[in-house]
Amino acid sequence: MITMKSIMGAGKMSHMVARRFICIALFGAAMAAPVAHAQALDSVDVQARGDDAEIVMRFAAPILYLRHNPLKEGQSLRVYFRFVGVGAQEVDLTPYASRLRAFGPAPGARVSFPEPDGSVSVTFDEATRFSVRPNADGRSISVLIAGKPGG
């Protein structure tokens, strides 16, 4: 026999199932697009490379290195790139700024992204000789600083 109480109970049960389904769907959507929630410039680290130092800038999505300016030496460096591949449009461009301490031949520096022209800015505490290259992982760029002669 169908009563009003049994109809109300069935309605509550289907409402709970619908809530669970929505929660699971939202969780799955969040997990499917991790780039949408990751800061574009993920990390900046300084590492020793023998007598040299390497500043490694890691990004949350694949990138295509374009150019840098100036080419070999200066106190201020701009690195230009663009995000490529799946999820490139969803990259979070939240401003990133980091202060790097002097390390080996690398002077202290300030790294910030994005600049008005879309570049990464590296401002060294003193004029520095460097070279810039994209890394094979397609998600990072290195600034190599040669050790000082006799130092």
pLDDT in tens, 60-114: 999 999 999 999 999 999 999 999 987 777 788 889 999 999 998 999 999 999 9
Q: How many domains does the chain have?
A: 2
123 assigned to some structural domain: yes
> Which domain, by its residues, includes 78?
40-145
Mark whether 12 and 60 lie in a shared domain: no
Token pair listed for 77: 């460096």
151 assigned to some structural domain: no
Residues 129-144 have pLDDT tens digits of: 999 999 999 999 999 9
- Among residues 40, 120, 47, the alpha carbon closest in space to that of 84 is found at 40
84 assigned to some structural domain: yes
Mark whether 21 and 82 lie in a shared domain: no
Mark whether 134 and 98 lie in a shared domain: yes
Mark whether 54 and 124 lie in a shared domain: yes
The phi, psi pair for 2, rounded to 5°, reads -90, 125
- What is the Cα–Cα distance from 11 to 72, expressed in whole angstroms? 71
149 has a pLDDT exceeding 90: no
Mark whether 20 and 93 lie in a shared domain: no
Residues 18-61 have pLDDT tens digits of: 566 554 554 454 444 444 456 899 999 999 888 899 999 999 99
- What is the Cα–Cα distance from 122 to 109, expressed in whole angstroms? 7
Position 88 scores a pLDDT of 74
88 assigned to some structural domain: yes
13 has a pLDDT exceeding 70: no
2 assigned to some structural domain: yes
- What is the Cα–Cα distance from 118 to 110, expressed in whole angstroms? 16
Taking the model in full, what pTM does it have? 0.72
- Among residues 109, 113, 115, 99, the alpha carbon closest in space to that of 130 is found at 109
